[in-house]
Chains A and B, each alone.
Chain A
Amino acid sequence: MEFEYPIEGGDFTRAGMASSQVKKVLKQLNIAPAIIKRIAVAMYEAEVNVVAHAFKGTMLVNIMPDKVFIKFIDEGPGIHDIDLAMQEGFSTATESVRQMGFGAGMGLPNIKKNVDELQISSVVNKGTTVELTTYIS
């Protein structure tokens, strides 16, 4: 089962909407609530990252019998140093984004804690791809 959701960079009013829709689908498929909760945290953080940092992006969701695979592809500034970005507390978010309670440097660590596999690839000044895999069986 595959779905695709567009994500607009900078549109915080809609941030989290795609994740909410995917969560509903996962519930309908009777996936264990504890697993859904973890996926929800990870995909929300990844979605907000696209909104906060990229110009635009796409969220691709592929639900398979044994796993949920979610891929975020964005066009944006990219990540200069992925290891640094993974560190808790490190953020390049703007002041206005921080005032909304985002940009605490907890997004990527939250993703890592809540998925089974996390793959990040990035090209500076081009964009970032984040892949989340969660096993459900």
Chain B
Amino acid sequence: MKLTEVVNKLELEVICGEDLLENTVTGGYCSDLLSDVMGNAQEGQVWLTIQVHNNIIAVASLKELSAILLVKGLKPGKETIETAIQQGIPILRTNETAFEIAGRLYNLIRQS
């Protein structure tokens, strides 16, 4: 499934990476521990997190994740957005909790 379809169906805000929405989404990973994501997330997954600092971009980039999805309406800092643009990582946002949006993302991907 394309990232653009995920964005539209789950009504996500695109904070940066509008040009990367053709990325393929293979699934999702939900965690706020960076080493957990490093150790267990898989390429192409959308990463759901409450972490907003700059270092989430290095993790997403090294793991070749399709996007970072910030939950609960959290906003990334200016520096995080700049790094995301440099590294080519889309940042998305929802006002829903990780539990709610993970459930919707899971169903969306299962139905595809």
The interface of chain A, by Cβ under 8 A from chain B, is: 12-13, 15-17, 19-20, 23, 37, 40-41, 44-45, 48, 100-102, 104, 106-107, 109-110, 113
Contact = CB atoms under 8 A, between A and B. Distances in A.
A16 B55 CA distance: 7
Contact of B55 (A13, A106, A107, A113): A13
Which of B33, B35, B49 has most A Cβ within 10 Å? Answer: B35
Main secondary structure of the interface of A (DSSP, over half): helix
Given A41-B63, A44-B62, A101-B34, 17 more contacts: A12-B53, A12-B54, A15-B58, A16-B55, A16-B61, A20-B58, A40-B62, A41-B38, A44-B38, A44-B59, A45-B38, A100-B53, A101-B51, A102-B35, A104-B36, A106-B33, A106-B35
Interface of B: 32-36, 38-39, 43, 49, 51, 53-56, 58-59, 61-64, 79, 87
Given A15-B55, A101-B51, A37 B43 contact: yes
B2 to A, nearest CB: 21
A28 to B, nearest CB: 16
A13 B63 contact: no
A101 B33 contact: yes
B39 A106 contact: yes
Contacts of B34: 48, 100-102, 104
Contacts of B54: 12-13
Nearest to B37: A101
21 contacts: A12-B53, A15-B55, A16-B55, A17-B58, A20-B58, A20-B61, A23-B62, A37-B63, A40-B63, A41-B39, A41-B63, A48-B35, A100-B34, A100-B51, A104-B34, A104-B35, A106-B35, A106-B36, A106-B39, A109-B39, A110-B35
A20 B51 CA distance: 20
Nearest to A108: B35
A16 B87 CA distance: 12
Contact of A16 (B32, B43, B62): B62
Nearest to B80: A13
A107 B34 CA distance: 9
Contacts of A41: 38-39, 62-63
Contacts of A13: 54-55, 79
The 4 closest A-B CB pairs, nearest first, are A16-B58, A106-B35, A104-B33, A101-B34
